[in-house]
Structure 1
Amino acid sequence: MATKPRRIGAAKAKRAAGSEHYAKRIISIEEKERLYRRWIDRMVFDRKANVSGACLHFYSNTDRWTREWDGNWFFMDESIRSHGKLLAIDTGRKGAKPMELYDPVSRTLIFMDAGYYGWLKSAALALTGDVLEDNHRIFSVHGALLSAGGKGVSLIGPSGTGKTTLSYGLLLDPCVKLVADDWHFFKFVNGDATGYASEKNTYIRADVASVWKEYKRLLKGAKLDNRGRAVVDVGRAIGKNKLEMTAEMRFIVLLQRDRAQPIVRELDAEEAVDYLVRNDYCNPHTLQSNAWKRKVRKEAFLTLFKRCRILLLNTVETPEQSLQRIKDFVGL
């Protein structure tokens, strides 16, 4: 009996998109200070993390995030002053909805009632990205970065388009190494665009192993959270030699799911930037989008894309078929 092809389904896309729904608001430093004073003495968990060279200070009034946080990030010397603060607060109110409050003056992000580590991880990266963007012209990409034969391949797309599935499928190729599976940073160095890893270990969905059986060993024994995810050391499953911290960005694969559109199309830099702008840079976690931020981001991505070949891939086919199209594009 023929097996029905597996697809990156619309139902998964709908669930993934819905998972990003929480309210966000910019607050004044005065409001931040009131909230900070109200909650700071109740914090039972307190860590500093090294996120791409920035020091992020994390506090929480619950220790439920201890395992994920400590496994996810590189440690930072406790004597280093922080570049930003993230407070994860469980208010204890029944039915409380998640709320993210950000003070850009003090670089303090207060996340009320997150209930899900994935949001806190993305909040940590968004906060770090806000600091690096303003002070160091280092920009965030909500997407995977792999090194294919020494050339960086960035996969970017809205939630549910198969970014994670295709990244881990590509990683199975012997010539491919992982830099980041969900979020990376980039900056321009001597005319080249260099992409950087953001995390020590990856926060991965268990269902990746349902598509690529090779990852079952990676998730064996992992303690999954309430969203079926776990922080794991990918190097234990595929070998430490399959991990890299940086890659020169040469290929961009933009993802979409639209049966009315072609399966593949190469884009020029301007078309690719238009795609990102229309899709809010495929990053629902961005903290600020004022006129200045929009200007510098657009300029940075235009400069990046002029240095890369760009493919718009419609992931309506099976993961195996979409993966082969990426391999053909990057020359694997």
Structure 2
Amino acid sequence: MPYTLSLITVEKKEELAERYADLIDHEVKSEVFGCCIKLLTDDKETKERWEENFYFISQNIRSHGRLYHLGDPALPRDTLYYDPQSRTAFLINVAYYGLVKSLALSVAGDVLEEEHGTHSVHGACIDADGRGTAVLGESGAGKTTQTYGLLLDGRIRVVSDDWFFARVYGSDVFAYGSEKNFYIRADLAGAWPAFADLVGQADLDAEERAVVDLRSVVGKGRVLPMTTLRTVIFLRRHEGGPVRCVPLEPDEALEAASAAGYFNPHLLVRTPFREGIRRRFFAALLGATRVFEVTAGPTPAETQEVLREIVMGERRN
């Protein structure tokens, strides 16, 4: 969902924190790839989904970043502020849990990118026989839908369906998951009926989505904590024709990723310094992997066939 986020000063953050202090009914800290992220909210449902979504951390740990999520009738819907100094986000009148989740990951990413050489990737990450594949693309391209379709193949395992963190070690790029459970759409069962029972038993929110334990369907051994990336796919929306697959050279792929904002609309700080960090990371990633640009076909199944060939190493061009 498109939205506008405004950066604020630490003084403005202090003012807002004081204003909303008495509205906070629930506080919970969670671990996001080694970062302690604290949620402060007036909404019990958001607190419960958060606890299902992220890993527990000791409540005695001091937080690296904070998210205030609450309602304020004096402000418009989806009012978003972020203070980069204290790494505190305010999500005011935000009904969609998916945005809460994404900004929690982005706050953690803000810490990790600047201080720990760890980079955020907004996309899915799967593994086949130890070979990791990242599936990136703009919103609506179908990367999440296609990820679950690939999981119908017992040889394929998942690290993340939406967001992962990555580190460069020499010539290798490692990808790491960060969510305990995944946030899925109810229409997933329409594309892949094998997930109908999972969706049917889920506690859907107003957006027809739910946090679910995918292990109950695919098995515990097929949700992995990490993999080594060997392939990157840029997935494009269906344009009216058949599936199209084009291999990209590293320089060509880097320019495409940069032009697309690295396929991540949730990056909180966009300065020349941060742009340099991101460009160097993606140059390393795209130089260490095979890169394909796939334009989706008219049905998920047609696209799926091409993606499976790439993931399994059966397609070279």
Name the TM-score class by shorter chain: over 0.9
Structure 1: runs of 5 or more not aligned = 1-19
Q: What does residue 166 of structure 2 align with?
A: 186
Task: Tell me whether 1:88 sits opposite 2:74 in the alignment.
Answer: no
1-structure distance, mates of 2:238, 2:24: 46
**Aligned residue runs from structure 1 range 1-332, under 5 A:** 20-93=1-74, 96-257=76-237, 259=239, 263-330=244-311, 331=313
In structure 1, distance between residues paired with 2:171 and 2:29: 33
Q: Tell me, what secondary structure is at the counterpart of 1:65? A: helix
Please list the CA deviations of residues 193-214 of structure 1 after superposition, one character each: whole Å capped at 9, or x if unmatched: 1000010000001111111111
- Which secondary structure does the structure 2 equivalent of 1:204 belong to? strand
Q: Who is 1:10 aligned against? A: none
Equivalent-residue separation in structure 1 for 2:157 and 2:240 (angstroms): 33
**Greater Cα offset, 195-204 or 38-47:** 38-47
Separation (CA, whole Å) in 2 of partners of 1:209 and 1:29? 45
Query: How much does 1:165 deviate?
Result: 0.9
CA contact (8 A) 1:22 1:97 kept: no
Q: Post-superposition shift, 1:67? A: 2.2
Q: Aligned letter for 1:51?
A: V
User: Normalization by structure 1: what TM-score?
Assistant: 0.91
Query: Residue deviations 1:112-169, cap 9 Å, x none?
Result: 1111101100010111111100010101111000011211011000011110110001
SS of the residue 1:92 aligns to: coil
Structure 1 residues 258 and 218, CA, compared in 2 at 3 Å: closer, same or farther? closer
Q: State the 1:311 CA deviation.
A: 0.5
Q: Which amino acid aligns with 1:203?
A: Y
Query: What letter is aligned with 2:86?
Result: S
Query: Does the aligned pair in 2 maintain the 1:49–1:73 contact within 8 Å?
Result: yes
Contact 2:188–2:195 (8 Å) recurs in 1: yes
Q: 3-state SS of the aligned residue for 1:152?
A: strand
1:21 counterpart SS class: coil
1:279-331: CA deviation from partner (whole Å, max 9, x where unpaired): 11111111111111111101100101111000100013321111111122232
Contact 2:136 2:232 in 1 (8 A): yes
**Structure 2: which 5+ runs fail to align?**
none
Alpha-carbon distance in 1 for matches of 2:189, 2:239 = 26
Aligned 8 A contact 1:201 1:231 in 2: yes
State percent identity of aligned pairs: 35
CA RMSD of aligned residues (A): 1.5
Q: Look up the equivalent residue of 2:182 and give its one-letter code.
A: T
Q: Deviations over 1:252-287 (max 9, x none)?
A: 010112638981100011111111111111111111
Of residues 185-194 and 308-317 in structure 1, the stretch that sits farther from structure 2 once superposed is: 185-194
1:64 partner SS: helix
Query: 1:269 corresponds to which letter in structure 2?
Result: P
Deviation at 1:23, TM superposition (A): 1.9
CA deviations on 1:222-243 (whole Å, 9 max, x unpaired) are: 1111111000000011111111
Which range is displaced more, 250-259 or 172-181?
250-259
Output the amino acid matched with 2:16.
L
Aligned length: 312
